[in-house]
Structure 1
């Protein structure tokens, strides 16, 4: 697949670094925009803040065909504590990228989004037709980014696809604070883990290399709009602890605390559309967790932090 001249924002991050490897195999050139100082030696790396429009326009290449937009502040807690800062990165930054696409003739932009844009569905599986009802500043900024992209598609013909990702896990997530790395830190004896309530809250988990592959696969289609990217298999916290314990070969100890007020009981998604578009989510959770553990336990930065 030939994607032309590609820009990957957040290309030095957890998901972005995996996507970057695939983008380099399928493009004429790749430019990474990230606040981190380095990515891949074969990519042109720019240390830029996407909320700084002048810096973007001054430094990005004149010719751009495809933009993979992953740069964002993704912590829900950070969005509650600093909604303005998260807005500047996630909404203003997206608007700046869309303007780059418009003025430099990029025909395609693919956004990393989230199923948090639809909030808490009381029943049923999350699909692309669920109304936008975000419950946090983070979810709201991602919903706003999708709406902006829709407007640029309608007005300027820029094809936009919004990948609504479930809980992504995999190699390279050692510094993340989501449930899988927290459990793995506990398995290494570096932290403790608490279950909120009965532990039967359930979520969908999707392997990072399948997510990176999904970006490339969707870039080769003409589909525009939201698409759910997940395994369509939801797992409870209790079951996930068992699975991570098996991957790590140790019994993970935990304590129980009161349930968080307002926490979603469960997230279940329907990935029928993504499959029909040629996306292949084929890494089983047990296999993915084993790979993640092998990467995690060998990361010296974790032990030294």
Structure 2
């Protein structure tokens, strides 16, 4: 009987990209999310990660060889005034997925974590053994989820690995994104003014590179670490990001004012050498190339905001 990869959060940016990567290379995938739908002709089954019985019912129907867990509230900007819901979905959902992997046995579980879990960082480069001190419920929920999966690994031998992604941008992102705002403003002939961030660093990663890293973590056997930093390889201030956008997008006009981002923490450059060593990960999408391809996608799909 064929074995499947279960991808949770398959409607989301990362989940859909991972699912597409896997199917395009010939893997059988069961894609689930809170609602049943179809994206680009690819069906998504209804199953919420908070529904433990539903998850086990899926596994009984489709024998699983691996899980890629992307199902969660996808950032600190999502439902910031509902912390208990964040905990229920992000932490409770991860525990349900970890338990599913334990019951099945002998399968790898790749978790889409986040660099936000670190909180503000000491001087870089920042390795994976840096103490996590998250300053948002979202970051805390991801840090807690990592610890739950680490405990499943230590106590029960579940093969888990967490991928700590930096700020993901690119086609199909629906939550707040400054790069998208710069590009859609350029499409409309509007100038963009960002009221903060002239000297504030942000480490963007294109969705293609993020998906590549998740799939690499699925494929590589006997990983020596339980977590890996994944970034696009650059450490730029928001004004430098704006300069890159203006350099490749005709008509883009972006002004970035001084001050820290009030919704983000200062983070130093993340060390991605362990991912290069163990996962064979190297970012392929420079910011300029990623911005250009994103701009083309936005125009082709009529995205205006």
TM-score (norm 2): 0.89
2: distance between equivalents of 1:123 and 1:90?
29
Distance 1:62 1:104, change over 3 A: farther
- Aligned-partner Cα distance in 1 for 2:259–2:41: 48
* 2:88 partner SS: helix
Kept in 2: contact 1:32–1:39 (CA 8 A): no
Offset of 1:28 from its aligned partner?
A: 4.7
CA displacement at 1:32 relative to structure 2: 0.4
Q: Note closer, same or farther for the CA distance 1:140–1:191 as it changes in structure 2 (3 Å cut).
A: farther
Q: Deviation at 1:200?
A: 1.1
The question of 1:215 aligning with 2:217 is answered: no
Determine the structure 2 residue equivalent to 1:137.
137
TM-score, length-scaled by structure 1: 0.89
User: What's the counterpart of residue 168 of structure 1?
Assistant: 168
Say which is worse superposed, 111-120 or 185-194, in terms of deviation: 185-194
Establish whether residue 232 from structure 1 lines up as the match of residue 233 from structure 2: yes
Deviates more, 1:232-241 or 1:17-26: 17-26
| Displacement of 1:248 | 2.5
Shift of 1:26: 4.7
Pairwise CA RMSD = 2.4
Deviation at 1:31, TM superposition (A): 0.3
Question: Does the 8 Å CA contact 2:197/2:237 hold for their aligned counterparts?
Answer: no
Partner of 1:280: 282
Q: Deviations over 1:190-248 (max 9, x none)?
A: 87744344611111111211111111212122214110011332111111112222332
Uncovered stretches (5+) of structure 2, i.e. residues with no partner: none
Q: Following TM superposition, by how much is the alpha carbon of 1:269 offset from its aligned partner in structure 2, in angstroms?
A: 0.9
Name the SS of the counterpart of 1:199 in structure 2: coil
Structure 1 residue 87 displacement after superposition: 0.9
Q: Which structure 1 residue ranges, 4+ long, deviate > 6 Å from structure 2? A: none
Cα 1:106–1:299 change in 2 (3 A) is: farther
- 2:78 alignment partner, SS class: helix
Q: Match of 1:96?
A: 96
Q: Which residue does the alignment assign to 1:195?
A: 194
Which residue pairs with 1:118 in the alignment?
118
Tell me how many residue pairs correspond in the alignment: 299
Query: Would the aligned equivalents of 2:106 and 2:158 in 1 still touch at CA under 8 Å?
Result: yes
- How do 1:1-305 residues align onto structure 2 when only pairs under 5 Å count? 4-26=3-25, 28-36=27-35, 37-39=37-39, 41=41, 45-60=44-59, 61-173=61-173, 175-189=174-188, 193-197=192-196, 199-221=198-220, 222-223=222-223, 224-254=225-255, 256=257, 259-260=260-261, 263-277=264-278, 278-300=280-302, 302-303=303-304
- Do the aligned residues in 2 keep the contact of 1:6 with 1:27 (CA within 8 Å)? no
2 CA distance for matches of 1:232 and 1:110? 21
Instruction: Give unpaired runs (5+ residues) of structure 1.
Output: none
Which deviates more from structure 2 when the two are superposed, residues 254-263 or residues 34-43? 254-263
